[in-house]
Amino acid sequence: MADIIKLLPDHVANQIAAGEVVQRPASVVKELLENAIDAKSSTIKLIIKEGGKNLIQVIDNGVGMSETDARLSFERHATSKIRQAEDLFKLHTKGFRGEALASIAAIAHVDMHTRPEDKELGTHLKIEGSKTIFQEVAVTPKGTSISVKNLFFNIPARRNFLKSTPVELRHIIDEFHRVALAHPNISFHLYNNGNELFNLPQSNHRQRIVHVFGNKTNVKLVPVEEDTQVVKISGFIAKPEFAKKTRGEQFFFVNDRFIKSPYLHHAVVAAFEGLIKSDTHPGYFLYLTVAPSSIDINIHPTKTEVKFDDEHTLYAILRSTVKHSLGQFNMMPSLDFESDQNLETPYSYKDKSAIVPKVTVDARFNPFKDENRPGTAFKQFRKEKAQSWESMYVGLETKVEDDTFSSVHFESDANTGSIFEGQHGSLEAVATTFQLRRKYIVTTIKSGMVVIDQSRAHQRILYEKFLRNGTVKDTVSQQLLFPLSLTFSKNDMTFLKEMKDSLGTLGFMFGSMNDDSLQVTGLPVLVPESEVDMVLDQLISDHQMGVDGNSFSQIDIISKTLAKSLSVKTGELLDNDSQLALVNDLFACKEPNISPFNKPIYVTITENDIDKKFI
């Protein structure tokens, strides 16, 4: 039998490795930024064009590389970070596998300029698809500049799977945030298509968070600090009143490395139990420092998942630390039945001394003068009152009418829970309905009965209304007497500016739009003023989760978000008229069978199905 196992060529092996390391342009950004940090840089610039598809360039002022190191850096498993397997548990750097540059060079055009500080001349290296085009001596500043162009140029199938330019840019900004928040001692700059998006100077953790997410973030932050033998925890949590219905500002860093940990996230949420609603999520920026030997960061190619030696202890410490910070800064209520609140001194008075009361005497007071005698004013008042008593009865009728109850009106009970108005005339012909467990609406038909999910049904109704108004462009906008001022991060504002025209088609009107704030001057008729912030947050969150504009139009995406945010939720009580209106409007839709998110809305139970249950 002939031998069938053969070694893969290097360029094929590199492309396979690239499939694990480089998933999208944001993956390249992450690897290059981490290499720049490991090079002990104090300033790092990131330049992006067309969402990273055409150009990703990272410029740093780090230690640079020699001519030999520059060439070896693009070989597989070539690294300066480890020498033996035991070094994997003593890591203090970002990259250590030696696969990143080799994988990137296998699927892109890479151009690198580098020079160490002790050399007068540097190295210029150009590689395309793992093939070295040339390497020569060049005049270049201290540090390293790497340009990655035409990503996936030799793998068209992978390039076709990339999302639209705005979506890829948002993923890049997310990676930029994760790296920048972990290293406030480094200055970061981000440029997109020639425009500066971020200019982050060297600062501390709190200032870096404020620079990234806007000035209004400062008032939301509550400090967290704890130092134990197992872990050192520092950072900030957001106040409970700023909890959002969408996952947003939630960051864990372990040894200055961003990680994703549902287990630790549950510890933070458990600490907020009772302070926020069940459908909201707290914000946090938590920095954990542990011994490198107690974690394993080599379990995932992107190194965003780590394995802890003692997760249970870490969970308990983190939960207690967050609870302590909430209580220390009066974020959560507390009761002490043994202390007397009347004897407690406010915290603001801790540095104030006691004030001695002063007694003053009016030396000019003469009790024998008439104007100072106690009875003089009272006598004058009685005299004036006696002279004017007749004026109290002027204009009164002497005839007293008999008391009757003919004009008495009784106040009717308030009609609560109505979500549809002006449609009661068409409800009489519909069969009787009732609500089951505040989740389903049950109504009868000729062949049996129909059980309708009230939330999904309302989503379908609202979705078709918004979609019809947006495509026909006849939406009526409700102008606000007092414009709403809302604050968002720079990343979110970039997205809202892109969607401004589509939002305007649906009835949203905007005034001034700055880098971190905007004014809302008009709303669609179906959108209440109190829900604007939540609706826009939900819209931003949907796009951060990867909803792309290539397969769905912007109007369709916004219509789905509005329908999901404004629909009747499970648990809401509806009166009979609202139930009938919901049934009528549902079966007037073009697609009453499925919700906008392709889930069934109702099920039909025929009379035969019921009869079979009694056999």
| Over residues 509-536, mean pLDDT | 85
pLDDT in tens, 448-498: 899 999 999 999 999 998 888 777 666 678 888 888 888 887 777 877 887
Which pLDDT belongs to residue 428? 40
- Asked whether 284 and 271 are in contact (CB, 8 A), the reply is no
Q: Which residue has the higher pLDDT, 348 or 572?
A: 572
Q: Which tokens sit at 264?
A: 């630790």
pLDDT over 70, % of the chain: 78
Looking up tokens 């079966």 gives 587
Look up residue 207 and give its amino acid: Q
Torsion of the alpha carbons at 361, 364, 366 and 371, rounded to the nearest 10:
-110
Rounded distance, CA 371 to CA 349, Å?
A: 44
State whether the Cα torsion 50-53-58-59 is positive or negative: negative
Planar angle of CA 259, 143, 73, nearest 5 degrees: 65
The pLDDT tens digits of the residues spanning 114-133 come to 999 889 999 999 999 888 89
- In this structure, of 169-183, 194-208, 388-402, 431-445, the range with the lowest mean pLDDT score is 388-402
Half-sphere exposure of 513 (CA within 13 A, CB side): 15
CA distance 297 to 89: 9
Distance CA 280, CA 164 (A): 29
Average pLDDT score over the chain: 81
Please report which confidence band the pLDDT of residue 342 belongs to, taking 50, 70 and 90 as the band edges. Answer: low
Closest by CA to 469, choosing from 500, 507, 499, is: 507
pLDDT for 147:
95
For the chain, give every domain's residue range.
10-200, 212-328, 424-604
DSSP character at residue 293: G
Measure the CA–CA gap between 97 and 117, rounded to whole angstroms: 25
| pLDDT value of position 416 | 46
pLDDT score of 353 more than 80: no
CATH placement of domain 212-328: 3.30.230.10
Ranking 72-81, 186-195, 538-547, 552-561 by mean pLDDT, the lowest is: 538-547
Low-confidence winner among 90-99, 177-186, 507-516 (lowest mean pLDDT): 90-99
- Residue in this structure with the two tokens 């914000």, named with its chain if needed: 283
Across 10-14, 23-27, 135-139, least confident range:
10-14
CATH classification number, 10-200, choose in 3.40.190.10, 1.10.3720.10, 3.40.50.970, 3.30.565.10: 3.30.565.10
User: What's the CA gap between 290 and 255, in Å, rounded?
Assistant: 7
Q: Name the H helices within 165-243.
A: 165-182, 205-213
pLDDT tens digits, one per residue of 286-314: 999 998 888 877 666 666 778 888 889 99
Q: Tens digit of pLDDT for each residue in 25-45? A: 999 999 999 999 988 999 999
pLDDT by residue (tens digit) across 530-560?
888 888 887 877 765 555 444 446 788 888 8
Lowest mean pLDDT among 60-74, 81-95, 510-524: 81-95
Q: Class assignment of domain 424-604? A: alpha beta
Q: How many CB atoms lie within 10 A of CB 389?
A: 8
Spatial CA neighbour of 222 closest among 275, 277, 280: 275
Residue-wise pLDDT for 404-459, tens only, equals 545 555 555 545 444 444 444 443 444 578 899 889 999 988 888 999 999 999 99
Exposed e or buried b per residue across 291-312, where buried means at least 16 C-beta atoms within 10 angstroms of its C-beta: eeeebebeeebebeebebeeee
User: Whole-angstrom Cα distance, residue 251 to residue 249?
Assistant: 6
